[in-house]
């Protein structure tokens, strides 16, 4: 629906979306972040960078509106039992994404589009200083409760609400 109401901004947003995936994908293979694109620092980076670039390109209000529309679509994706970035979306992932989107919108307040590299490092620094959110996992990639109890994959199937735990992005496993 967002695209129908914002056709001109939608084209720019599509370009920025592809850029955010490309940049996050290249950082995934570097030692800068944890390499986790599903609930980890790469996921947090992608959302924050995406929103920062959208704010610079289409404005704060439109960026926020698109971010919220995207997360509403995640619930529809969950209801259809489809994957988003390798996992079925859930409430905690949506909460994480919305939080990181807001941080990205804040980080993108400078309209200097030429400073894309600087923006990348701004987002990485925000992650390292714990300003974004990630989902708590152990070293084997198992989701954990806030009390460090492993959540079985079976118990997560078909559940929008679960016991996953959001932590600051500088959380050490």
Domain ranges of the chain: 2-134
pLDDT tens, residue by residue, 85-126? 667 789 999 999 999 999 999 999 876 655 788 999 999 999
Between 7-28 and 116-128, two packed helices, what is the crossing angle to 10 degrees?
60
Contact partners, residue 32, CB within 8 Å, separation at least 6 = 124
**Residue that the structure tokens 């079976």 belong to:** 154
Contact partners, residue 22, CB within 8 Å, separation at least 6 = none
Decide if 12 contacts 57 (C-beta within 8 A).
Answer: yes
Show the beta-strand stretches assigned E in 5-151: 133-135
What pTM was estimated for this model as a whole? 0.92
Any idea how long the chain is? 173
Residues of the chain with pLDDT under 70: 1, 3, 83, 85-86, 111-114
Per-residue model confidence (pLDDT) at position 114: 53
Per-residue model confidence (pLDDT) at position 173: 80
DSSP class of residue 159 equals -
Show the beta-strand stretches assigned E in 37-169: 133-135, 166-168
Decide if 127 contacts 161 (C-beta within 8 A).
Answer: no
Per-residue model confidence (pLDDT) at position 113: 57
Contact partners, residue 38, CB within 8 Å, separation at least 6 = 85, 86, 87
């Amino acid at each position: 629906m967002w695209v129908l109401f914002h056709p001109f901004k939608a084209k720019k947003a599509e370009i920025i979306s592809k850029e955010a995936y490309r940049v996050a994908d290249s950082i995934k293979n570097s030692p800068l972040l944890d390499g986790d694109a599903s609930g980890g620092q790469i996921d947090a980076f992608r959302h924050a960078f995406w929103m920062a670039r959208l704010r610079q390109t289409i404005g704060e209000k439109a960026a926020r509106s698109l971010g919220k529309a995207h997360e509403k679509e995640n619930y529809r994706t969950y209801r259809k039992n489809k994957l988003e970035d390798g996992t079925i979306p859930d409430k905690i992932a949506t909460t994480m994404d919305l939080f990181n989107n807001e941080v990205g919108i804040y980080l993108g307040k400078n309209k200097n589009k030429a400073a894309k590299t600087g923006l990348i490092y701004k987002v990485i620094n925000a992650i390292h200083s714990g300003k974004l959110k990630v989902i708590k996992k152990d070293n084997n990639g198992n989701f954990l409760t806030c009390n460090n109890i492993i959540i079985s994959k079976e118990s997560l199937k078909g559940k929008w609400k679960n016991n996953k735990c959001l932590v600051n992005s500088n959380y050490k496993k």
